Amino acid sequence: MVNENPNLEELNDPPVLEKALQAEPSVSVHPIVSIHPSVSIHPSVSAHPSSSVHPSTSAQPGGLNHPSSSCQELSVIKLSKRRWAVVLVFSCYSMCNAFQWIQYSSINNIFMHFYGVSAFAIDWLSMCYMLTYIPLLLPVAWLLEKFGLRTIALTGSALNCLGAWVKLGSLKPHLFPVTVLGQVICSVAQVFILGMPSRIASVWFGANEVSTACSVAVFGNQLGIAIGFLVPPILVPNIKDRDQLAYHISIMFYIIGGVATLLFILVIIVFKEKPKHPPSRAQSLSYALASSDASYFSSIVRLFKNLNFVLLVITYGLNAGAFYALSTLLNRMVILHYPGEEVNAGRIGLTIVIAGMLGAVISGIWLDKSKTYKETTLVVYIMTLVGMVVYTFTLSLGHLWVVFLTAGTLGFFMTGYLPLGFEFAVELTYPESEGMSSGLLNVSAQVFGIIFTISQGQIIDSYGTMPGNIFLCVFLSLGAALTAFIRADLRRQKANREVPETKVQEEENNTSKAPTILSEDHF
């Protein structure tokens, strides 16, 4: 007989986790249990006060002994048909937010002329996304644990919509502060977006599709960056007349405002807190082990005691920070070698991101099939370094087609690495909160992004593009070396393997049938 203790301690410690996972699988949960949708997968993270596991909860070795429907619903492992709609809607509003991040930098010289400001001021319209994320991560991660996915999704989408409409008040050259305000609002929205992919994947998707789902969620953000490189140079031509420029800029702002509004409405309609049944055994276990009296900040302390995760935080930040710097400064670098090629500069950025989206999807599918997180991450990191070196020494050759080719190769690996980092972090830190592990990765990315963007920008202004790109190559080399020292402690995979898998079923429309459809081994 197994007694569930709501105060299980330190499941992040592998021996204790292993012991917990080896407990009798046929645990019966008391009928009055009410688990809040935002509950963390680690008992150290605060759950909703109403969440509890009855102290007298017990099970018989033979399986469930006529449990209530509430107990049966928790025990069933099913995949919800809504899961793809949820991840696609998230991917779309993430795309809209990412577009607004890069829309200024992709036509840096045009906005410099329109507002009469320096290149550094325009760079800060992108870097404010990075700066805002750092102090707001912990409050937003706490909100995610306290109020759940739907609340965070609604808030992020609403702020993204608000920021888009505020920018429409900045269509005069002297109104640069208004466009800064709109961009800052969008940067706050980003804090409610960036840490969500791995959390959505874990809550909504089965064990054999979480990496693919995470890649799809990240895909939207990368697509937004791609569109942000492609569309602004087309909608806003490089002309001297500021009144004409204001007209063209207004078209771009109205389009993005309309799209952001539509996506906010879709979030209200489509986005739900969590599926009726857990999609995987690891997720079911995380519900069963949720504790109502654990410390939220102790989870952060444990994460920083996890050496493998700390190494991943550093290496992820170096890679993503290099990508942020490259994206922000791409227009400036291309224009220096190919004057008047603003449109092609945007297309090169588009090539980088489209190739990266392909790399992300392939990486996600490969991870779901092979589970080789450490090996895949290391290979992709090394190829990112190789791609950066080749791009560095071919940018100044005078042939745009060569730049397209080398930039695309670089993007395939550099951008394709981003979802790998999220999923590897979840594996290394299970059963900690996915929102917290992803958030700390993103903080590292923002910090290195600011440092790299400012430093590389100054190097380019003083010494040229090649020294600036070599600067990034040095830090990517460091990241590749540190990645080799990460030990592949795949805790989530171990949780899913401890109990033999049975065929996971699609959730049927008639939920009344749920109590009769149970997995062979259940929690």
At 343-375, the pLDDT tens digits run 888 888 888 888 888 887 888 788 778 888 888
Neighbours of 287 (CB within 10 A): 21
Phi and psi based region of residue 430 (left: phi greater than 0; alpha: psi -120 to 50; beta: remaining): beta
**What is the reported pLDDT for 289?**
58
Percentage with pLDDT > 90 across the chain? 30
End-to-end CA gap in the chain: 13
390 touches 336 (CB < 8 A) = no
**Which contiguous run of DSSP H or E holds residue 505?**
strand 505-506
How many alpha carbons fall within 13 Å on the CB side of residue 378?
Answer: 13
Domains and CATH numbers, the chain: 80-277 (1.20.1250.20), 296-501 (1.20.1250.20)
**What is the reported pLDDT for 12?**
44
Name the residue with higher pLDDT: 297 or 324: 324
Decide: pTM greater than 0.75: no
Largest CA distance in the chain: 80
- Burial of 337 (C-beta count, 10 Å sphere; 0-12/13-18/19+): middle
90 touches 153 (CB < 8 A) = yes
Give Cα 488 to chain centroid, integer Å: 21
The pLDDT tens digits of the residues spanning 317-336 come to 999 999 989 988 888 888 88
Percentage with pLDDT > 70 across the chain? 77
> Poorest-confidence range of 177-186, 257-266, 406-415, 432-441?
432-441
Residue 511 pLDDT grade (very low, low, confident, very high; cuts 50, 70, 90): very low
**What is the reported pLDDT for 266?**
93
